């Protein structure tokens, strides 16, 4: 594990931006649930999203991509998503479906990911389908919050359900595709060990 956590790979701007996203999570929950400051919640969520995009750009442009970053970046993403879904479930009960699915999916993917790291010695980043599902999930969550701010009322029930079920369908698709990828990597690593 030593090679994953050298000082050079820990103290990078992308990793510090990821830390900022982790720190924002409790504030997002507090301002949405306790204070009902929906605009501030969206601003904090936007800051989190901007820092996520920025850390990826900086990591690639300045050659600061690290295995630690590849591991903690998705953790920050998923904790933020779970926190926002948790907030939204209080006003939109159907949000429990993506909340539970996302939680189960990420625990499953984390376990599979650790097995892949152990078998292959490599940390793999997100694929296109995971990014599409993430964009859809964030769009769905932000739209539910923004609707209150812009229209002064809750999002129409039918639109809410459509957005939620599309997000759920994309999450299921990514779960299947990542499972296939992980099992293939594990199987291929096993074959290499045998030969």
pLDDT per position as a tens digit, 110-165: 898 888 888 888 877 778 888 899 889 999 999 999 998 999 899 999 999 999 99
C-alpha dihedral sign at 122, 126, 128, 130: positive
Q: What is the pLDDT of residue 6?
A: 54
Asked whether 25 and 83 are in contact (CB, 8 A), the reply is yes
More confident residue, 40 or 5: 40
Q: What is the pLDDT of residue 144?
A: 95
Between CA 57 and CA 185, with CA 62 as vertex, the angle to 5 degrees is 70
pLDDT per position as a tens digit, 38-92: 999 999 999 998 988 888 888 888 888 877 777 788 889 999 999 999 999 989 9
Q: What is the pLDDT of residue 8?
A: 56
CATH number of the domain that 26 lies in? 1.20.120
More confident residue, 139 or 3: 139
Asked whether 5 and 15 are in contact (CB, 8 A), the reply is no
Q: Which domain holds residue 142?
A: 2-194
Q: 194: phi > 0 → left, psi -120 to 50 → alpha, else beta; which?
A: alpha
Q: What is the pLDDT of residue 130?
A: 87
Asked whether 120 and 185 are in contact (CB, 8 A), the reply is yes
Least confident of 9-13, 161-165, 191-195: 191-195
Q: What is the pLDDT of residue 156?
A: 96
Say how many domains are in the chain. 1
Q: What is the pLDDT of residue 2?
A: 44
């Amino acid at each position: 594990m030593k090679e994953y956590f050298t000082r050079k790979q820990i103290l990078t701007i992308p990793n510090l931006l990821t830390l900022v996203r982790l720190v924002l999570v409790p504030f997002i929950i507090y301002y949405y649930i306790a204070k009902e400051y929906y605009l501030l919640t969206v601003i904090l969520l936007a800051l989190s999203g901007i820092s996520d995009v920025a850390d990826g750009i900086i990591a690639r442009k300045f050659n600061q991509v690290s295995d630690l970053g590849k591991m903690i970046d998705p953790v920050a993403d998923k904790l933020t998503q779970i926190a926002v879904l948790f907030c939204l479930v209080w006003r939109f009960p159907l949000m429990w479906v993506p909340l539970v699915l996302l939680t189960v999916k990420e625990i499953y993917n984390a376990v599979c990911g650790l097995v892949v790291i152990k078998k292959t010695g490599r940390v793999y980043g997100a694929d296109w389908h995971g990014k599409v599902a993430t964009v859809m999930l964030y769009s769905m969550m932000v739209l539910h919050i923004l609707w209150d701010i812009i229209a002064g009322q809750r999002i129409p029930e039918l639109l809410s359900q459509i957005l939620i079920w599309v997000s759920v369908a994309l999450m299921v698709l990514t779960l299947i595709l990542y499972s296939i990828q992980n099992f293939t990597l594990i199987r291929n690593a096993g074959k290499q060990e045998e030969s």
